[in-house]
Chain A
Amino acid sequence: MSNRLYSIVSKVMDVPESEIGDQSGPESIKVWDSLNLYMLIEDIEAEFNVKFTMEEILEIKNVGHFKKLLANHGCELNE
């Protein structure tokens, strides 16, 4: 379970947490546009106290990618 991450995605994208999985991305979340993605990045960075590089951000295509990036930064995803 990636509660902290899913909960932020749920808040920013306004999608129930239960509908969010690692595959969630622009296909499944209609409002996944660039503004929402930037806000998501901001909120995730603030929550986990990390800063992604531009290259890392360009890799992000779905929620699973955030998970991977956060793991690389040594973040604990579970509450």
Chain B
Amino acid sequence: MTKEKKLSAYTLESKKINVLDFKKQIRIALLSSFTLDGLDETIKVKCAEINVGCHVFSGGYNQYNEEILNTKSKLYAFSPDICFLILDIRDIFGDLFYSPYNLSVEKRREFIQNKVDELVNLAKSFIEKSNSKFVISNFAIPTYSPYGIFENKTDYGLQEMVFDLNHKLNNAWKSENSVYFYDLNGFVSRFGQNNVFDYRQYFFGDLKISLNHIPFLANDLLGFIKPILGFNKKCIVLDLDNTLWGGIIGEDGFNGIKLSQNDPIGKAFIEFQKYLLSLHERGIILAVNSKNNLEDAIQVIKEHPNMVLREKHFSCLKINWNDKVINLQEIAQELNIGLDSILFMDDDQVNRDYVREALPEVLTIELPNDPSLYALKLTELNDFNVIKITGEDKKRGEMYLQQRRRTEFQKTTINFEEYLKKLNIKIHIKKADEFTIPRISQLILKTNQFNLTTKRYQEEDVIRFSQDEKKIVGCALIEDKFGDYGITGVFIVNKDNPEEWVIDTFLLSCRVIGRGIEEGILDYIINISKKNNVKRLVGNFIPTKKNKPSESFLPNFGFKKENNCWVYSLKNYSKKPSHLLVLGE
């Protein structure tokens, strides 16, 4: 469950908000049959968070009938854009809540029908007098019945009465375009009746939704406010590795990624994909933005037996080594939607933060660390609501799919440097020792993408090399302002020829590619070589199916081709990226 701040944090924050500071404004009326103090402040804060100035009118305690029926009431003078009416079953039922069986079955049915008529008339009265949308809550089904287990053998018992009330009201609203139903019963069941309803607060202040649940209630109500503002998201852009499947396709391979019903982690990703598919089927566009070899990733999407989402479900696929921000801009352009209609999901904190900073219009979701929570996270979002769902909506994905096939991909470049500087990347170079060797061998055995030679040495080899005076075996521990990546880079240098050292192995985990770290490590090797009066540093690139990302690394750094090798003259001034701090031992 997404964490929420305490209500006191919202009431405090709301004092600092000047509603008129925002370009966009909304007027919200809150009516209730009980105390909902703090809800107005919380909604104000949550609106400010999406850059909307929110004016709130709170009706007097249990004054909703008067407010709605009286044309001259403060409610209409306030002139809301949206009006919420939140009702509690106790207030509607009165003593009947405790003793429903004092009435005969017929009288109980009559009672419910009267309540339905009352509420329908109330809503009609409101929409006749106002252009505002009207949202009325349904009722939490009581979990207690004086009849106990016999309740469901009882004709039109307490629970059935409330079911029927909800059902009849729901039907009544179906044909009323400006009236919406808020599923308060769903809210209570999501959080639990014993949590939402706090007897002590009820006795003290007639609170029927406890203070700590007010911020969650506000989230739900924002689900109505956002589409009215036109803030609903149309498109979910997804990363692939560790977002749609477990693991990294470039490293773990087609058969190694986690996407199986036999594996709990794989199940979590399948479940997540099923929820994404359900959103696609109702008209939310899906797109991919992933740093990967296109062939590897497409193979999974097309052929993996447990993929739920296939190529046809994605309106745009950006699977490449380009900047994720550029990819997002291109997705928006190709789909012809605003960046502010896009919701971005990526498991990587650095990517998320980079996108958030470069494209604040895009809603970048904090994905939980644990994929078991991905599906829940998705279902908790209140950003996909629309006032209406049309047949066109449902076909939208298909339309974009066709558009995708028409459009040619376009590439531009952007300056990434500013962001990198802010990351405060530190590279700690360490020699191979008993603590680092297990991880070094692991990386040597499994790294595919950024790996110049892809020489697979066993742990025993690495131990032997580390004791060899003619070799340097080192690793790089990377950290940035968000935390520690651990050992993610490895290099082995042969010193057989004192004038010409050879880079035998140079690899970097794909988690940290593209941040200049590779250059920082190479610069470190160059500096050591210089100190040892080496004249030339020699590198090799041995192409494999998967190491394309490292193909141009040596020439880009300034290595020159000689025979079949890449050679760097150590007379040259080395160029370590300025945003990095490289620390040797």
Mask for A6-25, Cβ within 8 A of B = 1, else 0? Answer: 00000110100000000000
The residues of B that contact A35 with a CB separation of less than 8 Å are 11, 37-38, 205
The residues of A that contact B205 with a CB separation of less than 8 Å are 34-35, 38
The residues of B that contact A43 with a CB separation of less than 8 Å are 6, 8
What's the minimum C-beta distance from B144 to chain A, rounded to whole angstroms?
21
The residues of B that contact A54 with a CB separation of less than 8 Å are 200, 203-204
Q: Are B8 and A40 in contact (CB under 8 A)?
A: yes
Q: Are B203 and A38 in contact (CB under 8 A)?
A: no
Residue of B nearest to A14 (CB): B12
Q: How large, as a class, is the contact surface on chain B?
A: 10 to 19
Q: Are B204 and A42 in contact (CB under 8 A)?
A: no
The residues of A that contact B204 with a CB separation of less than 8 Å are 34, 38, 54, 57
CA distance A53 to B201 in the complex (A): 11
Is B52 among interface residues, defined by CB-CB distance under 8 A? no
Q: Are B7 and A39 in contact (CB under 8 A)?
A: yes
CA distance A35 to B14 in the complex (A): 15
CA distance A40 to B211 in the complex (A): 11
The residues of B that contact A36 with a CB separation of less than 8 Å are 8, 11
Residues 34-71 (chain A) with a chain B CB within 8 angstroms: 34-36, 38-40, 42-43, 46, 54, 57
Mask for B1-37, Cβ within 8 A of A = 1, else 0? Answer: 0000011110110010000000000000000000001
What's the minimum C-beta distance from B195 to chain A, rounded to whole angstroms?
13
Residue of B nearest to A8 (CB): B8
Q: Are B203 and A42 in contact (CB under 8 A)?
A: no
The residues of B that contact A42 with a CB separation of less than 8 Å are 6-8, 211-212
Q: Are A39 and B211 in contact (CB under 8 A)?
A: yes
Residues 213-231 (chain B) with a chain A CB within 8 angstroms: none
What's the minimum C-beta distance from A13 to chain B, rounded to whole angstroms?
9
The residues of B that contact A40 with a CB separation of less than 8 Å are 8
Residue of B nearest to A58 (CB): B204
Q: Are A11 and B8 in contact (CB under 8 A)?
A: yes
The residues of A that contact B15 with a CB separation of less than 8 Å are 14
CA distance A41 to B109 in the complex (A): 42
CA distance A32 to B391 in the complex (A): 53
The residues of B that contact A14 with a CB separation of less than 8 Å are 12, 15
Where chain B touches its partner, the secondary structure class is helix
Residues 158-205 (chain B) with a chain A CB within 8 angstroms: 200-201, 203-205
Residue of A nearest to B15 (CB): A14
The residues of A that contact B203 with a CB separation of less than 8 Å are 54
Q: Are B8 and A12 in contact (CB under 8 A)?
A: yes
The residues of A that contact B207 with a CB separation of less than 8 Å are 38
The residues of A that contact B6 with a CB separation of less than 8 Å are 39, 42-43, 46
CA distance A57 to B204 in the complex (A): 10
The residues of B that contact A39 with a CB separation of less than 8 Å are 6-8, 11, 38, 211
What's the minimum C-beta distance from A36 to chain B, rounded to whole angstroms?
8
What's the minimum C-beta distance from B447 to chain A, rounded to whole angstroms?
46
Q: Are B12 and A11 in contact (CB under 8 A)?
A: yes
Residue in A11, A12, A38 whose beta carbon sits within 8 Å of that of B201 in the complex: A38
The residues of B that contact A46 with a CB separation of less than 8 Å are 6
**Given contacts A42-B7, A54-B200, A54-B203, are A12 and B212 in contact (CB under 8 A)?**
no
What's the minimum C-beta distance from A49 to chain B, rounded to whole angstroms?
15
CA distance A38 to B12 in the complex (A): 14
CA distance A11 to B200 in the complex (A): 23
Residue picked from A14, A38, A46, most chain B C-beta under 10 Å: A38
Residue of A nearest to B11 (CB): A39
What's the minimum C-beta distance from B286 to chain A, rounded to whole angstroms?
40
What's the minimum C-beta distance from A22 to chain B, rounded to whole angstroms?
21
CA distance A6 to B333 in the complex (A): 54
Residue of A nearest to B6 (CB): A43
CA distance A67 to B205 in the complex (A): 23
CA distance A21 to B8 in the complex (A): 20
CA distance A12 to B6 in the complex (A): 10
CA distance A57 to B413 in the complex (A): 63
Residue of A nearest to B210 (CB): A42
What's the minimum C-beta distance from B381 to chain A, rounded to whole angstroms?
27
CA distance A43 to B15 in the complex (A): 19
Residue of A nearest to B199 (CB): A54
Residues 227-241 (chain B) with a chain A CB within 8 angstroms: none
Residue of A nearest to B200 (CB): A54
Residue picked from A12, A14, A39, A40, most chain B C-beta under 10 Å: A39
CA distance A73 to B171 in the complex (A): 52
Residue of B nearest to A52 (CB): B200
The residues of B that contact A12 with a CB separation of less than 8 Å are 8, 12
CA distance A6 to B15 in the complex (A): 20
- Known contacts A35-B37, A35-B205, A42-B7; can you find 19 more A-B pairs with CB under 8 A? A11-B8, A11-B9, A11-B12, A12-B8, A12-B12, A14-B12, A34-B204, A35-B38, A38-B201, A38-B205, A38-B211, A39-B7, A39-B38, A42-B8, A42-B211, A42-B212, A46-B6, A54-B200, A57-B200
Q: Which 5 A-B pairs have the closest CB atoms?
A: A39-B8, A35-B37, A12-B8, A42-B211, A14-B12
Interface pairs (13), CB distance under 8 Å: A12-B12, A34-B205, A35-B11, A35-B37, A35-B205, A39-B6, A39-B211, A42-B8, A43-B8, A46-B6, A54-B200, A54-B203, A57-B200
Which B residues fall within an 8 A CB radius of A?
A: 6-9, 11-12, 15, 37-38, 200-201, 203-205, 207, 211-212
Which A residues fall within an 8 A CB radius of B?
A: 11-12, 14, 34-36, 38-40, 42-43, 46, 54, 57
